[in-house]
Chain A
Amino acid sequence: MNNVNDIITQELRAFASSLLESGEVSAFLGFAHGSLPMTTRPFVAKTPEDAQKLVWNSFCVLNLANYLPALLKSIEPPRGPKDPPPEGPLPKAGVIATGCWSRNIVVQTQENQVDRSRLVIAGVSSRGMVDRKKVLKALDGKEITKIEEKDHDLIVEADGAIKELNRWSVTRDNCQSCVHSSAVVFDHWIGPKLDDRQAPNRFKQIEDIEKMTADERWAWFSKEIETCIRCYACRNACPLCYCETCFVDDSNPQWVGKSIEKADAAIFHLLRAFHCAGRCTDCGACESACPMGIRMRLLTKKLEKDVFELFGDEAGMDASKPLTMTTYKLEDPQGFIFEPKHGQKKE
């Protein structure tokens, strides 16, 4: 019982149930065990007993910030569209947040999607989440029946055989390149506070692709999105995607075709990534939610790199600064602007 995850789970349950018991929050958002090994599901605890179902492990791959706007709305007292807001403060919600999730909460407060004063954030240091697909690959696709997590190893039981895997070797790409692993905003700390990991070169994957020629990059990109079935799991898992009507659902004008044909899938992925420009915190929920194993995170990571290099911004690090795309500077770089060579032949 001295495993880090167990310590965090115990502290989390105690903290959530004390908040729920005292009535400070009316709901606490965390994770509960999923129905299969290596899965968790987002879980809203509304009573101290519920809070005992919360868990913390290396499979909490979804981003809890995604559920906050709807959760906060759902715990408000019911009222008609024309009724005035109730007097006094609205009920609060608690949530557990790692570095990336807390940065998404900051982005949501900047975009007026959640009210920070209605949140109680339990900060935690993420040790990196495990990529289910990497584990399955390491076991040659055998069906995993049981998985036990130690501090640095995973003990996987598949088809009767037991295999030990190094935990870090199967963590997600975005966790391996993470530089802000601990919550940046929080009201209470859960578990040990670890220093932020220092990935040696967080943009390595992007730089490798940038080195290729245009044709090679197109071949890579086409191959990557070839299997896309347009299920929009990446969009739905994303805490940045809360538009009432998504650009892919628009029908008049219909900017993006709805088929899984190459052009439509390519345009969908490029636009989805572009909508996250300057807002994405590289939480990896899109990639973890993808049933086809598409690495669409590489597109948002490229934007993250450009935003950092061109404008010096990192999403969600400072709530007092405007978001990258909602502001400008007169001296913004404009090396991409086409400058004609002067002096054509005039008649």
Chain B
Amino acid sequence: MTENSFEPKIIAFLCNWCSYAGADLAGVSRFQYPSNIRIVRVPCSGRISPPMLFSALKQGADGILVSGCHPGDCHYISGNLFARRRFALFKNLLEFAGIEPGRVNFTWVSASEGERFADVVSQVTEAVRQLGPFNRF
């Protein structure tokens, strides 16, 4: 498989209230984005724990996208704020151990940002494509 024909598999963990609805809006609004993502709907970005992300990587994901509500907009008031601390440390730890910076991505997408969702997915997919298949685990 040459680098150009490599199609990465990206697991996206989207919160039910903002990002999943944002993805829905992207679809309803017919924004184009690559079909490389597989969406897992979670109640809140605060629900996502590091073992889930490792589990995805170990089972063959080439990249990960985690998205929740913008800070201040969380349906559960503060779930994404706890998650933000967790992800900041977790991303640094992964990079410290030698996982490439573009593999695991965190972002905020609100329910009205269908276009932003399409942008995020296209750009994350492109970045992971450049990195090539994930072979650390």
Residues of A in contact with B (beta carbons under 8 Å apart): 206, 209-210, 214-222, 247, 255-257, 262-263, 266-267, 270-271, 273-274, 277-278, 299, 302-303, 306-307, 310-311, 324-325, 328-330, 332-334, 336-344, 346-347
Bound Cα distance A347, B32 (Å): 8
Is A337 a contact partner of B93 (Cβ separation < 8 A)? no
List residues of chain B with CB within 8 A of the CB of A206: 96
- Which of A217, A277, A328, A340 interacts with B89 by CB under 8 Å? A277
Is B137 a contact partner of A217 (Cβ separation < 8 A)? no
**4 closest A-B pairs by CB:** A218-B98, A255-B51, A217-B98, A263-B137
Knowing that A306-B92, A338-B123 touch, tell me 10 more A-B residue pairs with CB under 8 angstroms: A214-B99, A214-B101, A219-B98, A267-B54, A271-B50, A273-B93, A274-B93, A302-B93, A336-B88, A338-B106
Contact string against A for B residues 7-50, beta-carbon threshold 8 Å, 1 for contact and 0 otherwise: 00000000000000000000000011000000000000000001
- Which of A219, A302, A336, A341 interacts with B119 by CB under 8 Å? A341
- Which of A222, A247, A262, A299 interacts with B51 by CB under 8 Å? A247
- Which of B51, B58, B106, B119 interacts with A340 by CB under 8 Å? B119
Is A266 a contact partner of B91 (Cβ separation < 8 A)? no
Bound Cα distance A328, B91 (Å): 17
List residues of chain A with CB within 8 A of the CB of B122: 340, 344
Is A328 a contact partner of B97 (Cβ separation < 8 A)? no
List residues of chain A with CB within 8 A of the CB of B85: 311, 324-325, 328, 332
Is B100 a contact partner of A346 (Cβ separation < 8 A)? no
List residues of chain A with CB within 8 A of the CB of B89: 274, 277-278, 303, 306-307, 310
What's the nearest-Cβ distance from chain A to residue B53, in Å?
Answer: 10
Residues of B in contact with A (beta carbons under 8 Å apart): 31-32, 50-52, 54-55, 58, 65, 71-72, 78, 81-82, 84-101, 105-108, 115-116, 118-120, 122-124, 136-137
List residues of chain B with CB within 8 A of the CB of A218: 97-99, 136
Bound Cα distance A295, B14 (Å): 35
Is A209 a contact partner of B120 (Cβ separation < 8 A)? no
Given the known inter-chain contacts A302-B93, A311-B85, A330-B81, please indicate yes or no for A214 contacting B106, CB distance below 8 A.
no
Is B86 a contact partner of A299 (Cβ separation < 8 A)? no
Majority SS of interface residues in chain B? helix
What's the nearest-Cβ distance from chain B to residue A339, in Å?
Answer: 7
Is A338 a contact partner of B93 (Cβ separation < 8 A)? no
Given the known inter-chain contacts A339-B107, A340-B119, please indicate yes or no for A216 contacting B98, CB distance below 8 A.
yes
Which chain A residue lies CB-closest to B65?
A338
Bound Cα distance A247, B52 (Å): 12
Bound Cα distance A214, B119 (Å): 26
Is A328 a contact partner of B106 (Cβ separation < 8 A)? no
List residues of chain B with CB within 8 A of the CB of A255: 51-52, 54-55
Is A274 a contact partner of B90 (Cβ separation < 8 A)? yes
Bound Cα distance A307, B93 (Å): 11
What's the nearest-Cβ distance from chain B to residue A230, in Å?
Answer: 16
Q: List 5 A-B contacts (CB under 8 A).
A: A214-B99, A216-B98, A256-B54, A303-B92, A311-B85
